[in-house]
Amino acid sequence: MADMTADVAQMRGSQEKLTTADGKPLKVALAAAQARSKRRAFYLVAPLLFFVLLTFVVPIGQMLHQSVYNPDFVYKTDVTTKETTPIMVNLRNWFDENPRGTEPEEAAYEALAKDLVVLREVKAAGIAGTRINYERSGSRSLFTKSARKAKKLEAPYKEALLDVDDEWADPTVWAAMRNASSAYTMNFYLAAIDKARAVDGSVEAVDEKRKLYVKLFMRTLMLSILITFLTFVLGYPIAHMLATLPLRYSNLLMILVLLPFWTSLLVRTTSWMVLLQSQGVVNDALVGTGLLADENRIQMMYNQIGTIIAMTHILLPFMVLPLYSVMRPINPSYVRAARSLGATSWTAFRRIYFPQTIPGIGAGALLVFILAVGYYITPALVGGADGQLISNLIAFHMTKSLNWSLAAALAGLLLAGILVLYWLYDLLIGIDNLKLG
């Protein structure tokens, strides 16, 4: 045993003494070669990594930060110089000194009056009022009107402000100002799930008439699931036919599958508008054949029917291509062997062929579903009020209401749902089995 240990030690010593042609130890030379290989590989992927970070990771990080950050009630930012000026300082100090639920008295109104003077001087009354307006409608006009008269306000400030507008006595106004007194807040996520903070700070559901976002999330989820199912039902036989036909025929038919990618999405959507409207091609054909009376034309535009039909057609290739990529390598002799052993056609399909296509089904369903939940143009043009999805409301807050924080919060919840979907796919099928082509 001792001799064997000595031999091993001797072998190790001899290996450490091996050198390269230039006299360097072999172990050191191998380590340097591996380091150079790793650096070379990193340099090759560095441009792609930089591109992904710049165009994907950074924007998502900014979006998530925007969803919890809104300084419009705290700072006024100059558009040209980007310099920030603190505003509402006195009122924020009063909020810091007094716990939530404290009844605003003369000191609070005095702090508010002083801050209104500052708002008029820096021309930020509209900005601060808009921030409060996100949580309590009508607040923007309240701030702008009061700021115009701020210099004329005298003690007692409570009576003076109530003379300007008695809405200053509304506890919801003070609760909204307290919520906005910090630049960082989770209130936009609460608003995204139809919740809000009460005057005492507790979380409560908003009024039934204002509940909108959860309904839209559920509609987006259900329509996306339905569209994914319809693309699967329509795409599976198409992919099977393409996979089983001789290559010269399947390549020709594949052009028809890829043809929509050569046409603008806007053109395809407007084409469906021509087909589906009340005086469109489909209704005219049904009336012309006598299947439908002229006064009973089917309403397929500006509702969920139009959204489902148009999006199913547009997203169908994204289901066909992953299925085709999985079906093409399947050896047809497997099904023939099963049938020769006594299995029926249905049994052979169910137990032999279908299980081999599950990775393609999962990949296609994942791709179609993710595209469906974020679709914007098609629901906006053919969906109307009943066919709108959550993406349309995100676009509204980004371009019309300019409530970017709420839009970012809605997008953040949508992103979280997609990540959960990825997790479920990995749990049930496995990301390693993802086959997109």
Specify whether 336 is located in the same domain as 218. Answer: yes
Write the DSSP assignment of 12-36 as a string of letters.
HHHHHH-B-TTS-BHHHHHHHHHHH
Mean pLDDT along residues 320-330: 91
Q: Domain count for the chain, please give it.
A: 3
**Token output for 287:** 């009336």
Specify whether 291 is located in the same domain as 362. Answer: yes
Mean pLDDT along residues 35-58: 91
CA angle 321, 274, 290 (to 5 degrees): 105
Residue 65 scores a pLDDT above 90: yes
Name the pLDDT band for 158 (thresholds 50, 70, 90). Answer: very high
Name the pLDDT band for 286 (thresholds 50, 70, 90). Answer: confident
Specify whether 33 is located in the same domain as 178. Answer: no
Domain at 295, CATH number: 1.10.3720.10
pLDDT in tens, 193-232: 999 998 888 899 988 888 899 999 999 999 999 999 999 9
Query: What pTM, to 2 d.p., does this model score?
Result: 0.85
Q: Report yes or no on 196 lying in a domain.
A: no
pLDDT in tens, 371-400: 999 888 888 888 887 888 899 999 999 989
Specify whether 252 is located in the same domain as 328. Answer: yes
Specify whether 106 is located in the same domain as 230. Answer: no
Mean pLDDT along residues 141-153: 94
d(CA 120, CA 148): 7
Q: Report yes or no on 191 lying in a domain.
A: no
Q: Report yes or no on 202 lying in a domain.
A: no
Which of 170, 185, 200 delimits the end of a domain?
185
Q: % helix / strand / coil in the chain, to the nearest 5?
A: 70, 5, 25
**Token output for 327:** 């079906």
Write the DSSP assignment of 387-426 as a string of letters.
T--HHHHHHHHHHTS--HHHHHHHHHHHHHHHHHHHHHHH
Q: Where does 76-180 have alpha helices with state H? A: 89-97, 106-121, 125-133, 139-148, 157-164, 171-180
Neighbours of 261 (CB within 10 A): 10
CA angle 79, 404, 215 (to 5 degrees): 165
Name the pLDDT band for 364 (thresholds 50, 70, 90). Answer: very high
Alpha carbon distances (Å) from 295 to 96, 275, 280, 286: 66, 18, 14, 12
Give me the pLDDT at residue 335, please. 86
Q: Report yes or no on 145 lying in a domain.
A: yes
d(CA 363, CA 11): 53
Residue type, 390: I
Residue 2 scores a pLDDT above 60: no
Specify whether 226 is located in the same domain as 304. Answer: yes
Residue 37: give the domain boundaries.
20-55
CA angle 185, 188, 190 (to 5 degrees): 100
Q: Where does 259-303 have alpha helices with state H? A: 265-276, 281-288
Q: Is the dihedral of CA 224, 229, 232, 237 positive or negative?
A: negative
pLDDT in tens, 400-437: 988 999 999 999 999 999 998 888 888 877 776 665 55
Which of 185, 201, 230 delimits the end of a domain?
185
Give me the pLDDT at residue 8, please. 46
Specify whether 429 is located in the same domain as 321. Answer: yes
Specify whether 49 is located in the same domain as 80. Answer: no
CA angle 404, 406, 407 (to 5 degrees): 60
Q: What's the burial of 356, exposed, middle or buried (CB within 10 Å: 0-12/13-18/19+)?
A: middle
Q: Is the dihedral of CA 305, 310, 313, 317 positive or negative?
A: negative
Give me the pLDDT at residue 436, please. 55
Give me the pLDDT at residue 10, please. 54
Specify whether 256 is located in the same domain as 329. Answer: yes
Residue 125 scores a pLDDT above 90: yes
Specify whether 79 is located in the same domain as 51. Answer: no
d(CA 157, CA 111): 9
Q: What is the mean pLDDT of the chain?
A: 88
Q: Report yes or no on 367 lying in a domain.
A: yes
Mean pLDDT along residues 52-71: 93
Specify whether 315 is located in the same domain as 282. Answer: yes
Specify whether 48 is located in the same domain as 79. Answer: no
Q: Report yes or no on 203 lying in a domain.
A: no
Q: What percent of the chain clears pLDDT 70, i.e. is strictly above it?
A: 94
Residue type, 124: A
CA angle 302, 305, 308 (to 5 degrees): 110
pLDDT in tens, 20-35: 667 778 788 888 889 8
Least confident of 176-190, 281-295, 356-370: 281-295
Q: Report yes or no on 11 lying in a domain.
A: no
Q: Which residue has the higher pLDDT, 21 or 363?
A: 363
Give me the pLDDT at residue 12, please. 54
Q: Report yes or no on 4 lying in a domain.
A: no
Give me the pLDDT at residue 261, please. 84
Give me the pLDDT at residue 339, please. 87
Residue 45 scores a pLDDT above 50: yes
